[in-house]
Amino acid sequence: MDPENRPAPAIPRAPRWSQRRRVLIVLCLNAALIAGLVIVGVLANSVSVLAAAGDTVADCLALILGLVAIALRDRDPDHPHAHRPIAIAALINAALLFAVTVTVVIEAVSRLREGSPPVEGLPVVIVSLITLVVMLGGAFVLGFSAGEEDLHMRSVLLDALADAAVAAAIVIAGAIILITGGLYWLDPVLALLVSAVIGVAAVRLMIKAVAALRGKDVDFDDD
C-alpha cells in the first residue's frame, strides 16, 4: 500500500479502568473529610458546615454506586444498554443531593425564624479551607475533560467543583463572623444560597439522567 494513502493509526482510547481509579481517589478524599466536617459543624454550631458534611456523605454514596455502575458497564461496553448503569448512578446522585438540600433548607429557615445562635468563625474557616483544597485536588484528579466522558463522570466533576465553590463561600462567611464577632445570620443565609445552587444542579441532573435512561442522546455541554 502506498504510504501516502495508508490510513492514519487510530488514536487509542483512554482505558476504562482509569475512570475507576480516578473515582476511587475522589471517594477517598471525600470520605476523609466527613468526620472533620461533622465535628466542626457541631462544635462551631454551623449549619453551613453541617450542610457541607451532608453533601459529602451523599457524594460518597453516589461515588460508591458509580464505581459499581462503571464495573457493570465495563463487563460488556458494546451492549446497547451498557451506559444505563451510569445514568442510574447519576440519577441516584442527584436524588441524594436534592434530599440533603431539602434538609438543610428546613434547618436554615428554622434558624432564621428563631434567631441564629452564635457560630465559631475560626474552626469554620479552617475546615472550609481544607475542604476547598481537597475538592480542587479531586477535580484535578478527575481532569476537566471528565465532563465529556459520560453522564456519571460529568456529575462527579460538577460535584467536586460545586463543593469547592461552597467551601470558598463558607470560608468568606466564617471570616466575616470571626472578624465582626457577630452577623451569625450569615451562616444560615449562606446555607440557603448553597442549597439553591445545589438544588438546581440536582434537578437538572435528574432530568438528564431520566432522558438518558429513556434512550435519548444527552448533550453534556449545554449547561
| Tens-place pLDDT, residues 128-164 | 999 999 989 888 888 777 666 767 677 788 878 888 8
Contacts with 87 (C-beta within 8 Å, 6 or more apart), sequence order: 151, 152, 209, 212, 213
Asked if 53 contacts 117 with a C-beta cutoff of 8 angstroms, the reply is: no
Lookup result for grid cell 463487563: 75
Over the chain, what is the mean pLDDT? Answer: 78
At 126 the pLDDT is 92
Q: Sorting pLDDT into bands at 50, 70 and 90, what band is 221?
A: very low
Q: Which three cell numbers stand for residue 186?
A: 450569615
What's the average model confidence in pLDDT over 104-117?
A: 85
**50 closest CA partner among 119, 112, 114:** 119
Q: What is the pLDDT of residues 72-98, one digit of tens each?
A: 767 766 665 656 777 777 788 788 878
Sign, CA torsion 157/92/26/22? negative
Alpha carbon distance, N-terminus to C-terminus of the chain: 46
Q: What does the alpha-carbon distance between residue 68 and residue 56 come to, in Å, rounded to a whole number? A: 19
Task: Reply yes or no on domain 16-213 having CATH 3.40.50.620.
Answer: no
Q: Is the pLDDT of residue 10 over 60?
A: no
Q: What is the pLDDT of residues 13-28, one digit of tens each?
A: 444 447 778 888 888 9
Question: How crowded is residue 132: how many other Cβ atoms within 10 Å of its Cβ?
Answer: 19
Q: Is 78 helix (H, G, I), strand (E, B) or coil?
A: coil
Q: Is the pLDDT of residue 219 over 60?
A: no
Q: Which three cell numbers stand for residue 37?
A: 466536617
pTM: 0.69
Asked if 66 contacts 23 with a C-beta cutoff of 8 angstroms, the reply is: yes
Q: What is the pLDDT of residues 14-69, one digit of tens each?
A: 444 477 788 888 889 889 889 899 999 888 888 888 888 887 887 887 788 777 77
Q: Please, how many CA atoms are within 13 Å of residue 173, restricted to the half-sphere of its CB?
A: 27
